[in-house]
Amino acid sequence: MTTANARTTATLAGLALIILPLLAVLLKLTVFPGWMMVLAIWSSPLLLIGYAVQVVIAANALLRQRGVFQRTTARRRGVIAAWLTSAGVLAAAFFLVDGGDDGRFGSAFTVLIGRSSTGEGESLSMSFFAVCAAIWLGAWLWLLVEWIVQLVRARSAQRSRGLHV
């Protein structure tokens, strides 16, 4: 992969880290918003902190030309972790079953397959949700660790070259 292609790939991954979680929220607000969204609002400080960290990683490691995922050999791992995080959160929102007090429930997935408000649709969708949520959270942790490791390595490399930061 050429340097220009690698930079473009990293930049797209950074933009996905910022945009796809917002699309996931929009998806949940438009398809069967209900008690799960209320729970998300109650846990919003934790989710907002996680999203803020994600935006910082995107801005500093992927979108900046001198970001650690733009110029290191670990670019591929960082980009993969970023894409898995981004796709995981959107997929989790797609499969998350929600509903209100009116007895109707479902997800974007159950709407798509015509199985909303059925036990079969709920069970299938929530199974997929569990996998997607695990991928999302695991990839987010991987991205965070990868970013920290690359920052430490970059700092060590600067010190060894005699450049103090």
pTM for this entry: 0.89
Q: How does DSSP classify residue 165?
A: -
* Cβ atoms 59, 14 nearer than 8 A: yes
Q: Dihedral sign for Cα 29, 33, 34, 37, please.
A: negative
pLDDT, tens only, 56-105: 999 999 999 889 998 767 789 999 999 999 999 999 999 999 987 888 89
pLDDT greater than 70 at residue 55: yes
DSSP string, 90-150: HHHHHH--EE-TTS-EE-HHHHHHT-TTSHHHHHHHHHHHHHHHHHHHHHHHHHHHHHHHH
Query: Percentage of residues in the chain with pLDDT exceeding 70?
Result: 97
Domain ranges of the chain: 3-160
> Considering only CA atoms, which of 70, 91, 98 is closest in space to residue 6?
70
* Cβ atoms 32, 104 nearer than 8 A: yes
pLDDT of residue 162: 74
